[in-house]
Structure 1
Amino acid sequence: MFADLLHDMLGVDHAESHQAMIRLEDIDAKVDPDNFKPVVDYLHARGIPFSMATIPHYKDPYGSQNNGVPTDIPLAEATTLRLALDYALARGGEIVQHGLSHQSDTYRNGFPGTGGQALTTSSGT
């Protein structure tokens, strides 16, 4: 919004330009290429700019999203993530780092322990 008002505040006339970017959220080592690639292809084919909010280090210390198996996948071992990002970069996508992980050590971050769900599902906060 500030960018929209800046020209008015400074008294600079300019041609009107409406721009937007799609942000693909929480792209991590568990990304499913069968779901991810069609979205990237759709955006690319229509010339829609997009970014990928990427979590480079997947941590699930309680196994809540992995059938009870604690999981820790750093970027160096996240082959699926790297291939997905390369695929999207070749089609105009941009990477935005979305923190290092959704997990802090072994602290239970949210109910399943892998994300910020507690921020939206707990009462009072």
Structure 2
Amino acid sequence: MSTEQDKQYAIHKVMESMANVQQKSQFFIDMITKQETLTHNQILLLFQLRLIGSLNITDISERFIITPGAASSMCDKLEDAGLIERVRTKEDRRVVNIVLTEQGHQRILHIFEAFPTSDLNKISGTLEQINVLMDKMMN
């Protein structure tokens, strides 16, 4: 194979692998959603809150590309389920942050308990390597 053919093949494999990972990630979330009473976006919001700590309604609406009203409604349902709570900041009482409750943390653990820790560690390690390589390519 020539250098140009090698490059074309590498590009094809990267595109194919990225599409496969994206599709399998979607299937994974769909599988979790089917086993839960929560919607796809509600589960993803719980994940985001677990990773980031807190978000306000504007942050949520921007991340999920939904209106602030839809974000607030999604939070209302999660709050009614006891999974999140609204907390006013001490600096500015008008600002309300959304945070996970202990029940929300436990729900996330429950979602992942069916998967062996060794598999979760392998996936995590591989995804971290992908992130590092992509960071190098973009800088």
The TM-score range, normalised by the shorter chain, is under 0.3
Q: Normalising to structure 1: TM-score of the pair?
A: 0.25
- Structure having the higher helix fraction is 2
TM-score, normalising length: structure 2: 0.23
